[in-house]
């Protein structure tokens, strides 16, 4: 087995210079996200979501970005799980996208609010029926006796909605992160990476280069 200290990669694919940047970070995100889709990156919308309790104890997990625009970055989840509890106590979070095939990552930090019920319902009803049943069946983050309990619950919900009409549960919906900062990181040779930080000041976005 190779030593962890010997595991390293030299980054050579791209650079990120100031004259290449979009003035708006959402436009820059759209460009990079499009690059990830075109490169056929596996689940380009997978992102780490980091939250914290009111006392500052952190937790992180992978969730899927489902939309983005100048209002922010939206994902959907149970309102009963750990992440929802932490966002209820401390409505600030961070997102990280990592696309190793492109030697890029994006860090986003900001404030989080629930999306309105209509938006949650529109997205929920666009999901496959099985996924909608799963949202009803799962009591996210609760302790279970075994896999059998979850599967029994799923079959119970499947019978309940045998007509295929599965409505939005009250305990499920979306969150939108409105960013205060967005950092674009591009790997470069010899660890001389490019880091460009957009910071929000009202309606204005300032742009800074950070040391690698």
CA distance 203 to 140: 37
CA distance 136 to 74: 21
SS3 199: strand
For residue range 91-106, what is the model confidence (pLDDT) as tens digits?
999 999 999 999 999 9
For residue range 166-187, what is the model confidence (pLDDT) as tens digits?
999 999 999 999 999 999 999 9
CA distance 102 to 164: 41
Residue 115: inside a domain, yes or no?
yes
Please list, residue by residue across 93-116, b when 16 or more beta carbons sit within 10 angstroms of its beta carbon and e when fewer do: bbbbbebeebbbbbbbbbebebbe
- The confidence score (pLDDT) of residue 29 equals 98
In angstroms, what is the C-alpha Rg of the chain? 20
CA distance 99 to 171: 32
For residue range 110-165, what is the model confidence (pLDDT) as tens digits?
999 999 999 999 999 999 999 999 999 988 888 888 999 989 998 999 999 999 89
Torsional sign, CA 126, 170, 88, 206: positive
Residue 200: inside a domain, yes or no?
yes
What tokens does 166 get? 């599965």
For residue range 54-89, what is the model confidence (pLDDT) as tens digits?
999 999 999 999 999 999 999 999 999 999 999 999
Tell me the whole-structure pTM to 2 decimals: 0.92
Q: What is the CATH number of the domain that holds 27?
A: 2.30.110.10
**Residue 96 DSSP one-character state:** E
Active-site choice (61, 71, 191, 209): 191
What tokens does 165 get? 């009409």
To the query of whether residue 188 is one of the catalytic residues in this protein, the response is no
Residue 48: inside a domain, yes or no?
yes
Q: Domain residues for 67?
A: 16-128+170-210
- Secondary element (H or E) of residue 40: none
Q: Does position 109 have pLDDT exceeding 90, yes or no?
A: yes
CA distance 49 to 97: 9
Residue range 47-56: mean pLDDT, rounded: 97
- The confidence score (pLDDT) of residue 4 equals 59
CA distance 168 to 118: 10
- The confidence score (pLDDT) of residue 7 equals 58
Residue 178: inside a domain, yes or no?
yes
- The confidence score (pLDDT) of residue 5 equals 64
- The confidence score (pLDDT) of residue 139 equals 86
- The confidence score (pLDDT) of residue 116 equals 97
Question: Which residue has tokens 């997990």?
Answer: 61
Q: Does position 2 have pLDDT exceeding 90, yes or no?
A: no
Total structural domains within the chain: 1
- The confidence score (pLDDT) of residue 23 equals 95
Please report, in angstroms and rounded to a whole number, the separation of the first and last CA atoms in the chain: 29
What backbone torsions phi and psi does residue 38 show, to the nearest 5 degrees? -65, -30
Residue 49: inside a domain, yes or no?
yes
3-state helix, strand, coil in the chain (%, to 5): 30, 35, 35
Residue 198: inside a domain, yes or no?
yes
- The confidence score (pLDDT) of residue 141 equals 83
Residue 61: inside a domain, yes or no?
yes
Q: What band does 6 get if pLDDT is binned at 50, 70 and 90?
A: low
On the CB side of 152, CA atoms within 13 Å amount to 6
Residue 148: inside a domain, yes or no?
no
């Amino acid at each position: 087995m190779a030593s962890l200290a010997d595991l390293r990669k030299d980054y050579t694919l791209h650079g990120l210079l100031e004259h290449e940047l979009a003035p708006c970070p959402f436009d820059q995100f759209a460009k990079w996200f499009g690059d990830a889709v075109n490169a056929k990156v596996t689940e380009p919308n997978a992102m780490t979501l980091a939250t914290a309790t009111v006392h500052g104890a952190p937790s992180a997990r992978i969730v899927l970005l489902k939309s983005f625009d100048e209002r922010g970055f939206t994902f959907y989840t149970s309102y009963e799980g750990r992440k929802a509890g932490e966002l209820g106590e401390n409505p600030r979070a961070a997102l990280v996208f990592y696309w190793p095939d492109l030697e890029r990552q994006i860090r986003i930090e900001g404030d989080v609010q629930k999306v309105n019920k209509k938006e949650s319902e529109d997205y929920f009803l666009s999901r496959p029926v099985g996924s909608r049943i799963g949202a009803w069946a799962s009591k996210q983050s609760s302790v279970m006796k075994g896999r059998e309990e979850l599967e029994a619950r799923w079959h119970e919900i499947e019978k309940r909605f045998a007509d295929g009409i599965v409505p939005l549960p009250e305990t499920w919906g979306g969150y939108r992160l409105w960013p205060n900062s967005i950092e674009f990181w591009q790997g470069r040779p010899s660890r001389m990476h490019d880091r460009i930080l957009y910071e929000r000041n009202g309606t204005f976005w300032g742009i800074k280069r950070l040391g690698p």
